[in-house]
Copies of this chain bind each other. A is one copy, B any other.
Amino acid sequence: MSERFAFTLIKADGGARLGEIATPRGKIRTPAFMPVGTAATVKAVYTDQLKAAGADVVLANTYHLMLRPGAERIARLGGLHAFMRWDRPIGTDSGGFQVMSLAKLRKVTDEGVAFQSHIDGASHLLTPERAIEIQCLLGSDIQMQLDECVALPASREDIERAVDRSLAWAERCKRTFDGLASPGQALFGIVQGGTDARLRARSADELVAMDFPGYAVGGLAVGESQAAMLDTFELTTRRLPAHKPRYLMGVGTPLDMIEAVARGADMFDCVLPTRSGRHGQAFTWAGKVNLKNAGYAEDARPLDPTSSCPAARDYSRAYLHHLVKSQEYLAAMLLSWANVAFYQELMAAMRAAIAEGRFAAWVAQTKTRLGSMEPDP
């Protein structure tokens, strides 16, 4: 275990990067996918299952945890790791994105974001200082600055104002973090700027000048096309230092992640594997499988006989179909588990391909495999 946060770039293969983040709570092999544990639990999945699947880190949501059970309460209970029984690294977002998507009566000013809880309507103010304070109370290993994220499409003025505000907040977050954080914890800056190349460049350059230990690329996958998302990500990463990890927030589908890794992404998070699992959909190496389809009612095959995940390997599609149709807990449990495991298998396969210098060939081959996806019903 490292006593400090450090990123090692082990190998580059084209734009793709193999790396390792060292933290006091263990290492994170990159490219890494962080399963999302919104309310201190990756929905319907045990932490032991996450570990066995190969997850090195999970992402928790500051917005949800500040409202319930509360950051001070989690701190009194020994921090988020002890609370949710996960002793490996935890990343947290700043809360800003979810305030904008979930809270009521939100109002953004230079001071911060005032909003009402979607749970009980109580008024809250999330400032850059408070966002860091909360993440430190949680004990997050990889923290995010508070940023302002605008939904696309948006006017250039709106995007520019969000960029300026996010840069100012980055400085305030950094100052607070430097005073509060424990050794080995890291704060990432978040590049904003919509799909505007000049704004992205300015945001990246100014954040790089502040010398964060890692950079997130935010404000993407919020309504723009996949091509625009990837183009913007690529031109952003060109301005980021090679020796710092890059986290593409909120992405995504297997194909999104493959294309982003090809453009230099090191870290991802997304609710897709667990949300899809709760809706009867499985990710496999042969593409998506929608277990609601009546065609699986007597299909004795497992999702993937070669998987190391029992959920994918040991249960028939017919049984999974039955569980989904019957709205049984076990449907969400098995499919979320299988999907989280598939996402980890996908990351492991990318890491292996980069290590062996065959990432481009792997991408071509894998896109064909995953592209043979069963269409959604």
A contacts, CB < 8 Å to B: 39-41, 43-44, 46, 68-69, 73, 76-78, 83-85, 297-298, 300, 314-316, 318-319, 321-323, 325-326, 328-330, 332-333
Nearest B residue (CB) for A274: B329
Q: Can you list 20 A-B contacts (CB < 8 A)?
A: A39-B326, A39-B328, A40-B319, A40-B322, A43-B330, A44-B330, A69-B297, A69-B318, A69-B321, A69-B325, A73-B297, A73-B298, A73-B318, A77-B319, A78-B300, A83-B316, A83-B322, A84-B319, A329-B333, A333-B333
Q: Chain B residues near A319 (CB, 8 Å)?
A: 40, 77, 83-85
Residues of B within 8 A of A41 (CB): 323, 328-330
Q: Is the interface of A mostly helix, strand, loop or mixed?
A: loop
Contact of A326 among B68, B297, B300 (CB under 8 A): B68
Which of B76, B77, B316, B329 is in CB contact (< 8 Å) with A332? Answer: B329
CA distance A9 to B46 in the complex (A): 40
Q: How far is the CB of A363 from chain B (nearest CB, A)?
A: 34
Contacts of A300 in B (CB 8 A): 77-78
Query: Which B residues are CB-close (under 8 A) to A318?
Result: 69, 73, 77, 83
Write the chain B residue with the least CB distance to A331.
B41
The distance in angstroms between the C-alpha atoms of A35 and B86, with both chains bound, is: 29
- B residues within 8 A CB of A44? 329-330, 333
CA distance A329 to B83 in the complex (A): 16
Of A77, A321, A322, most B-chain CB atoms within 10 Å = A322
Within the complex, what minimum Cβ distance (angstroms) separates A298 from chain B? 6
Q: Give CA–CA (A300, B77) in the complex, Å.
A: 7
A77 to B315, CA, bound (A): 12
Query: CB-nearest residue of chain B relative to A328?
Result: B41
Tell whether A298 pairs with B76 under 8 Å between CB atoms, given A40-B322, A328-B41: yes
